[in-house]
Structure 1
Amino acid sequence: MKVVCVGGGPASLYLAILLKLQGRSRDITVYEKNPAGSTYGWGVTYWPDMLSLLTAHDEVSARAIAQHSVRWNGGVAHVRDRITTHQGDEGFAIGRHRLLEILAERATSLGVDVRFGRPVPQGTSGLEGDVIVAGDGSRSTLREQHAEHFGTRVALGHNRFIWLGTTRVFSSFTFAFVETGHGWLWCYAYGFDGTHSTCIVECSPGTWMGLGLDVMERADALKLLEGLFADVLQGHPLIGRTDTDGPSQWQQFRTVTNRVWSHGNMVLLGDAAHTTHYSIGAGTTLAMQDAMALAGALRDPAPLPAALDRYERTRRRELLPLQSAARHSANWYENLTRYIHLEPHQMFALLGQRHSPLLPHVPPQLYYRVDRAVEQTQALRSLKRWLGPRVARVLQSK
């Protein structure tokens, strides 16, 4: 089998690794338009169960990922000048650059032909393989060449956000909410390599334009944001991407969906197939789980159309609750003023419940009181976890 992967992100590289582990004679090529070591983004998060999955599929790369990851516990929320904390949640983070380096080195060691600095050939006719994998992101060039067949739809989020780094290393997942004369601005921050942290800043369009961030040059915008988040940053700078300038660094989240995920021998992978809002911290995890499912489907000697259909059906089913959670999470932030005037510990508790399909339909203080009562009773906790996905499906069907 000859497989060509377009896009050198975590999904394509991990798929290449898994396919090579199934059979060293397989011919696997990965095309990445950017040079080796060139990537956007800062750190990515994942959870303990994902590390177990990685270990089960390829212990070598899992061990390297774990070795270069940092672990954080609990969360901290800064609301104006007040601070509240939550203990118990454990997660991991790793620099995106380091993750790609680990996966590329592992793939190359297994015999995968990883070609950096190679743009996507124009048209699928320039790609020769039994399977062509479009793993080139939410703006997939390969997918767009057949957008009508795939039934691609892109919905833009309401809020504006910017993906930044900082030299302050956060040991807990940290939120900060700052009130300005033009509305609220907030950030999510987490350490990922011992020297830097990711810091995503988000706000409503009114706040974005009111502060002038829609027209402000990058250096001026970073200086303004550093001042607004001075208490959280503790004197550390914010760092923007170096491959773009000006206000274009601000984005609206692109929710990508496709009616079908394959076209002949071409199949969509990762963000090219689907996206989930960054506030649930699962984008990279879901993309690599796509790779696991696709590799599993291609392992069996079934005809290719059946294998690709199995991959799509499996992943659609597994993604459904996470996509629902992502929609509700994005909605929570887009309706921040509904929750921000609660006591900080109450707001932070509802921040943790933002995936709930019930929260938008129940008065926040009532939801908080009921949820605290439920969490104190084991039987009610179990019922709540059982009901959650079912209620989400009912509301989604309406």
Structure 2
Amino acid sequence: MKVVCVGGGPAGLYLAILLKRQDPAVDVTVHERNPEGSTYGWGVTYWRGLIDRLQEHDPASARAIEEHSVSWSDGVAHVGDLTTRHHGDQGFGIGRHRLLALLADRARTLGVRLEFDSEITGPPAGADLVVAADGVHSALRTRYAGHFGTESVSGRNHYIWLGTTKVFDAFTFAFTETRHGWIWAYGYGYSGEHSTCVVECSPQTFTGLGLDRADEGERLALLEKLFAGILDGHPLIGRDGAAWLNFRTLTNRTWHHGNLVLLGDAAHTTHYSIGAGTTLALEDAMCLAGALGEHAALPAALTAYERRRKADLLSVQSAARYSARWYENLPRYIQLPPHRMFALLGQRHSPLLPYVPPQLYYGLDKAAGQLEVLRRFKRWLGPRAARALHARSASRRG
């Protein structure tokens, strides 16, 4: 079997690793349009469950990834001059550059061919399977967008992905009020020298602060001033060409066309505020490799992969939509005492939260932790609120 993977991100590289582990005789080539060692972004996050799944599929890469990651178990929220800290699940951060280098090394060890500076925009000839792992702007998917049923919805808020030499010891949220509204940052370490810092704000705050008109140096200087309390004198670092964006939630009606299949961000995106993008890309690779190993016929394998992953993604995509909405409606929650606001920040995935007054929801959630009847009520009511919202949205589209 000859496999051509277009895109050398985590999804494409990990799929190549798994296919070679399943069958060393399979011919796998990964084409990446950028030079080796160049990548966008700073650090990525994941949770303990991913390491466990990586260990099951390829212990060697799992060990390497964990060894080069940093971890934390606390979350900290700074709201103006007030701070609250909560202990939570163990999270991990690793530099995207480091992650890709580890996966590339592992792939080469197994006999995968890696072709950098190699841009593929059309289906390559002679391949039994072509994997489009070339991201949200996938050229292969775009070529057949009508077949895939691609839809993209832009979020309201503006955001930018930055780095800093401040190493956060916890997953850090910082909310700063300006005369043009609130602006906030998410910060987390990914090495002993650097952290990721994602900054987000509403359109009104974005234009009110002049971020739409400032050059890169002016923007960084302003943001360093606004978040001086968490940066402790450390600078924010941009990349050449880094721009403020509106997050695009991308979906596809189907994920395969003939011998072409979508993987990772080419197939779906979920809002960055739930920190699941890299995890989902790697899980896509696990699922596709598994389906190819289980089914001798390619159409059956691709159909099984799509069915399983779409089912797995339902709850994650719902959580991501509600998480993005929580930040878009930040004024609804930001005036609560910080510990209560932070508690609802942790509940932002709930489909029930937008329809219940925040103070009441906080009380119900706290009581639900003690009373089984209220836990059952939340589990019963949450899905019904989600279905009602989906039906209302569908009727508007119709």
Cα distance in 1 between the residues matched to 2:377 and 2:88:
21
Secondary structure (helix, strand or coil) at the match of 2:118 reads coil
Cα distance in 1 between the residues matched to 2:384 and 2:22:
37
Superposed CA deviations along residues 36-79 of structure 1, whole A, max 9, x for unmatched, are 11001011111111110000000000000000011111200000
Cα distance in 1 between the residues matched to 2:209 and 2:360:
34
How far residue 379 of structure 1 moved from its aligned partner, in angstroms, is: 6.0
Secondary structure (helix, strand or coil) at the match of 2:89 reads strand
Residue 306 of structure 1 pairs with residue 293 of structure 2: no
**8 Å contact 2:46–2:279 — kept in the other structure?**
yes
Q: Summarize the alignment of residues 278-317 of structure 1 with structure 2, pairs less than 5 Å apart.
A: 278-317=272-311
1:14 match = 14
2:183 match = 185
Secondary structure (helix, strand or coil) at the match of 2:325 reads helix
**8 Å contact 1:4–1:128 — kept in the other structure?**
no
Residue 362 of structure 1 pairs with residue 362 of structure 2: no
How far residue 380 of structure 1 moved from its aligned partner, in angstroms, is: 4.2
How far residue 128 of structure 1 moved from its aligned partner, in angstroms, is: 2.9
Secondary structure (helix, strand or coil) at the match of 1:169 reads coil
Secondary structure (helix, strand or coil) at the match of 2:119 reads coil
Cα distance in 1 between the residues matched to 2:195 and 2:308:
34
Q: Summarize the alignment of residues 78-97 of structure 1 with structure 2, pairs less than 5 Å apart.
A: 78-97=78-97
Cα distance in 1 between the residues matched to 2:262 and 2:340:
41
**8 Å contact 1:262–1:268 — kept in the other structure?**
yes
Cα distance in 1 between the residues matched to 2:133 and 2:88:
35
**8 Å contact 1:188–1:199 — kept in the other structure?**
yes
Secondary structure (helix, strand or coil) at the match of 2:350 reads coil
1:263 match = 257
CA change 1:323–1:112 in 2 (3 A) is same
2:122 match = 123
Residue 107 of structure 1 pairs with residue 107 of structure 2: yes
**8 Å contact 1:189–1:198 — kept in the other structure?**
yes
Secondary structure (helix, strand or coil) at the match of 2:39 reads coil
Name the TM-score, length of structure 1 as normaliser: 0.96
1:194 to 192, 195, 211: 192
Secondary structure (helix, strand or coil) at the match of 2:63 reads helix
CA change 1:388–1:49 in 2 (3 A) is farther
1:329 match = 323
2:335 to 326, 330, 341: 341
**8 Å contact 2:133–2:262 — kept in the other structure?**
yes
CA change 1:80–1:105 in 2 (3 A) is same
Superposed CA deviations along residues 269-317 of structure 1, whole A, max 9, x for unmatched, are 0000000000000000001000000001111243211110100000000
Cα distance in 1 between the residues matched to 2:388 and 2:69:
38
1:212 match = 210
1:132 to 91, 105, 130: 130
Relative to structure 2, which stretch is displaced further, 309-318 or 85-94? 85-94
Secondary structure (helix, strand or coil) at the match of 1:64 reads helix
**8 Å contact 1:290–1:315 — kept in the other structure?**
yes
**8 Å contact 1:167–1:238 — kept in the other structure?**
yes
CA change 1:171–1:302 in 2 (3 A) is same
What is the percentage of aligned positions where both structures have the same residue?
64
How many residues are treated as equivalent by the alignment?
Answer: 392
How far residue 387 of structure 1 moved from its aligned partner, in angstroms, is: 5.9
Relative to structure 2, which stretch is displaced further, 302-311 or 378-387? 378-387
1:149 match = 147
How far residue 384 of structure 1 moved from its aligned partner, in angstroms, is: 4.0
The amino acid across from 2:154 in the alignment is: L
**8 Å contact 1:4–1:127 — kept in the other structure?**
no
Name the TM-score, length of structure 2 as normaliser: 0.96
Residue 234 of structure 1 pairs with residue 232 of structure 2: yes
CA RMSD of aligned residues (A): 1.4
Superposed CA deviations along residues 245-266 of structure 1, whole A, max 9, x for unmatched, are 6xxx100001101111001000
Structure 1 residue runs of 4 or more that deviate by more than 2 Å after TM superposition: 376-398
- Name stretches of at least 5 consecutive residues in structure 1 with no aligned partner: none
The amino acid across from 2:239 in the alignment is: R
Cα distance in 2 between the residues matched to 1:306 and 1:115:
29
Cα distance in 1 between the residues matched to 2:7 and 2:171:
30
CA change 1:28–1:45 in 2 (3 A) is same
1:254 match = 248
1:320 match = 314
**8 Å contact 2:247–2:271 — kept in the other structure?**
yes
The amino acid across from 2:147 in the alignment is: H
Secondary structure (helix, strand or coil) at the match of 1:360 reads helix
